[in-house]
Chain A
Amino acid sequence: SQTIHQWPATLVQPVGSPLSLECTVEGTSNPNLYWYRQAAGRGLQLLFYSVGIGQISSEVPQNLSASRPQDRQFILSSKKLLLSDSGFYLCAWSPGLTNEQFFGPGTRLTVL
């Protein structure tokens, strides 16, 4: 069966520090991968998605970037965090041939 992992589960970082959040999927190949941010009162905002290795699409201009170095690995990064980057980050995958997305446990990021 397929599983999706995210780490770390929680992270507290100072403003201006770098960021790297990792997401991996097991039990499937060539998944579509997604990064969302879940902000209080604002629902889920799609940040990036990827339909294949090295293929990244950005949905909103921001301080973050994403990479997909391997088929089942999706990384969310920043060179210098801002206070506004605080939030709950969710990774998701879908088979690409169906519409359901499967979500990871999320990472709670607090920027101080």
Chain B
Amino acid sequence: AQRVTQPEKLLSVFKGAPVELKCNYSYSGSPELFWYVQYSRQRLQLLLRHISRESIKGFTADLNKGETSFHLKKPFAQEEDSAMYYCALLGMDSSYKLIFGSGTRLLVRP
């Protein structure tokens, strides 16, 4: 079964602290994984995808097939990073539908 698990509903850190948002997946094959973010009063938008191997707004995410994880990391959190973060897995058919985790709310305190 295809599944995405985000074990933390809320993650609260202080400004400047490191952040790691956890994501684990269940998938038979080579997964394509994404992180989406929703800032307050804004639309849900793509943050990064694993195939790009890029850093966006200081965030990175590495696919670990052995641990079936795709954790989102940032070394120094900023207050503007406070948002809802969703990990997503591309489904196995041609519809390109995404399977989302339940989301983690990141709160960065001053």
Contacts and interface: CB of A to CB of B under 8 A. Distances in A.
A102 B6 CA distance: 22
Most chain B CB inside 10 Å of its own CB: which residue of A34, A41, A103, A106: A103
A42 B49 CA distance: 22
Interface size range of chain B in the complex: 20 to 34
B102 A41 contact: yes
Contact of A49 (B9, B97, B100): B97
A43 B98 CA distance: 12
A45 to B, nearest CB: 8
B97 A99 contact: no
A51 B96 CA distance: 9
B102 A51 contact: no
Interface in B1-51: 6, 9, 32, 34, 43-46, 49
B97 A34 contact: yes
Interface in A77-112: 90, 92, 94, 96, 99-106
